[in-house]
Amino acid sequence: MKTLLDKVYLDFHESSMLDFDALITSYGQDKYMAKSFSIFSYLIARGYNASTTLAEKFAETMEAFFLATSIHDDIIDSRDDGEQALKQHALNARIVFGDYFFIQLAVHLAEIIQEIDINFRQAFLDFFKKEMVVVAESQLIDQRMAGKPYTIEASLQQAEERGGSWGRLVMGTVCRALGAPPADIRLLTGAANDFFIALTILDDLQDLTDDVANGIYSLAPSHYAERTGTLKYLQEARGSREKIKKELDRTGSIKFALKAASEYATAANIKLDEFLRNKEGMYWFQMKAFFNNTSLQLKNIGGGFFADK
């Protein structure tokens, strides 16, 4: 299945009006999570017997929202190291690029509404709107938390807002649109919430220098702050990823974050296994396999990169 980003690349590649090739390539390499959301949405829809066409529209809607918010977030977070590679592209071009995916989202959503059972439309729209608001507001969470103390509790709440909300949006929305039983919705959204919190914690470990510089309350620096009572050393060393990593290793903060991510992933797998009990069919099998594969890949990225030397 081609994802939305694949299709957009082909569209723009053949267009003489918009030269977004390099920009699309940048996000095509880096936005692995967008394709994960797309695939999860597709498999859930097909598992509940949606047509291939409708399943693809769900998948592309989720991917469009992730890409649009990610692109606009990169524009906001101009201090991030990852942002530097994008500065070769004009700001207006990047804004239009993000807006393009919002337009795709609106078009797909209008098409989806026409195809789902009228009895499920309002529940689908209400849930989608609620979680979209949480996801959108989470892009500004570092500004909302500015000046407040770093705590483990606050960082876990932030991980749920920035990560768990994505899981609930991607999986819970499709369930509601297709009339899944309440027990299925509860288990699958719960699994998704925990799974994407785990991924957020691991992703934050990859962005330590940016998080410290931007005041993002990720778990490892919060654990460090509670252990030492200050973030002064990390803030002074914020230009050196290696110094920050070494200091967080010294206090056990990275191990604490990895353990927390592992616990969330385990909880997610327990709920997913219960959800899949008595369910048969290739799409459910593929979802479990993809779930496990994504979890293992990201765990290896986190654990391998941050392992003690």
pLDDT of residue 307: 43
Q: What is the mean pLDDT of residues 55-70?
A: 86
What percent of the chain is predicted at pLDDT more than 70? 72
Is residue 148 over pLDDT 60?
A: yes
- 198 by Cβ neighbours in 10 Å (0-12 / 13-18 / 19+) ranks as buried
Inter-CA distances, 184 with 56, 66, 208, Å: 21, 24, 36
pLDDT digits (tens, 9 = 90+) for 187-228: 999 999 998 898 888 888 877 777 777 667 789 989 988 999
Averaged pLDDT of the chain: 79
The answer to which of 76-85, 107-116, 190-199, 269-278 has the lowest mean pLDDT is 76-85
Q: Give, in degrees to the nearest 5, the angle at Cα 107 between 106 and 110.
A: 85
pTM over 0.75: yes
pLDDT digits (tens, 9 = 90+) for 1-25: 566 666 665 565 555 445 566 666 6
Domains of the chain: which residue ranges? 1-115, 120-309
Band the pLDDT of 308: cuts 50, 70, 90.
very low
Alpha-carbon torsion, ordered 3, 160, 191, 67, to 10 deg:
0
Band the pLDDT of 103: cuts 50, 70, 90.
confident
pLDDT of residue 27: 60
User: Can you tell me which residue has the tokens 């919705």?
Assistant: 185
> Are the C-beta atoms of residues 186 and 282 closer than 8 Å to each other?
no
Q: Write down the CATH superfamily of domain 120-309.
A: Farnesyl Diphosphate Synthase (1.10.600.10)
The most confident of the ranges 29-43, 238-252, 295-309 is 238-252
| Closest of 293, 303, 301 to residue 35, by C-alpha | 293
Q: Which residue has the higher pLDDT, 177 or 17?
A: 177
Band the pLDDT of 68: cuts 50, 70, 90.
confident
Is residue 305 over pLDDT 50?
A: no
